[in-house]
């Protein structure tokens, strides 16, 4: 007997796909409860306010975290930076595009290939040496590439992508 002719299996399959679509609805991005630190917009599938994904501190902390101990052009000696992986953020919002524009509080913005976050453990650092980054020390979010693990990243292009005081990311 062909499997495709079994009405029981067909119904089972439909039920399974219905349940999984309800399941993914339930996993849609929660709403922020604290001050919004980061707004992600553009070519994304997961949103929580209009077409945008708004993140507060706790939501960012609940993404997959990474630490890297590295020197940077902005810090004396090595520091341990910690925060969500850029890759985890992209997955959470369902980013579809190839390029993102990362905007800072000081109106600086940089164009960054989405690939960078997929290929390297780029961190949206929220702390350095366990201290929360304040706006005055380049916070609340600082795009940190793992320069010490991958010294070839220390080049002019990547340095211009190392946006500090990040407030928004638009996926293009
Ligand atoms: N928020 C923010 N990030 C930024 C910049 C900026 O002006 N604002 N300049 C970028 C560029 S073009 C470079 S070369 C370096 C400059 O760092 P510096 O100003 O500390 O030398 O930071 C990058 N990240
Ligand atoms: Mo620059």
Residue 45 shares a structural domain with residue 129: yes
Residue 18 shares a structural domain with residue 52: no
Q: Is the pLDDT of residue 74 over 70?
A: yes
Nearest CA to ligand 1 atom 3: 163
pLDDT score for 119: 97
| Ligand found nearest the CA of 73 | 1
Residue 5 shares a structural domain with residue 46: no
Residue 78 shares a structural domain with residue 63: yes
Residues framing ligand 1 (Cβ under 6 A): 74, 104, 106, 108, 159-160, 162-165
B/e letters for 47-85, b = 16+ CB within 10 Å, e = fewer, are bbeeebbbbbbebbeebeebebebebeebeeebebbbbb
pLDDT score for 147: 97
Mean pLDDT of the chain: 90
Q: Is the pLDDT of residue 10 over 80?
A: no
Q: Is the pLDDT of residue 144 over 90?
A: yes
Q: How many domains does the chain have?
A: 2
Residue of 110, 125, 147, 158 to mutate, ligand 1, most atoms within 8 A of C-beta? 110
**Residue 26: which domain range?**
1-30
pLDDT in tens, 75-105: 999 999 999 999 999 999 999 999 999 999 9
pLDDT score for 23: 43
The residue among 33, 83, 90 whose CA lies nearest residue 56 is 33
* Main-chain dihedrals φ then ψ at residue 126, nearest 5 degrees: -110, -15
pTM: 0.85
* Main-chain dihedrals φ then ψ at residue 91, nearest 5 degrees: -65, -40
Q: How large is the average pLDDT for residues 150-172? A: 98
Residue 25 shares a structural domain with residue 101: no
pLDDT score for 13: 59
pLDDT in tens, 24-71: 443 479 999 999 999 999 999 999 999 999 999 999 999 999 999 999
The CATH number of the domain where 142 resides is what? 3.90.420.10
């Amino acid at each position: 007997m062909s499997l495709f002719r079994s009405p029981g299996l067909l119904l089972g399959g439909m039920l399974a796909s219905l349940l999984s679509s309800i399941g993914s609805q339930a996993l849609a991005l929660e709403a922020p409860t604290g001050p919004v630190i980061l707004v992600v917009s553009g070519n994304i599938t997961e949103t929580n306010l209009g077409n945008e994904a708004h993140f507060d501190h706790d939501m960012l902390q609940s993404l997959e975290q990474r630490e890297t101990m590295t020197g940077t052009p902005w810090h004396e000696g090595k520091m341990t930076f910690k925060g969500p992986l850029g890759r985890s953020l992209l997955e959470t919002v369902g980013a579809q595009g190839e390029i993102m524009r990362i905007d800072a509080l000081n109106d600086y913005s940089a164009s960054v290939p989405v690939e960078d976050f997929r290929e390297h453990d780029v961190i949206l650092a929220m702390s350095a040496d366990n201290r929360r980054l304040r706006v005055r020390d380049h916070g609340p979010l600082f795009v940190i590439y793992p320069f010490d693990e991958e010294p070839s990243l220390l080049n002019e292009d990547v340095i211009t992508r190392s946006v500090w005081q990040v407030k928004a990311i638009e996926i293009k």
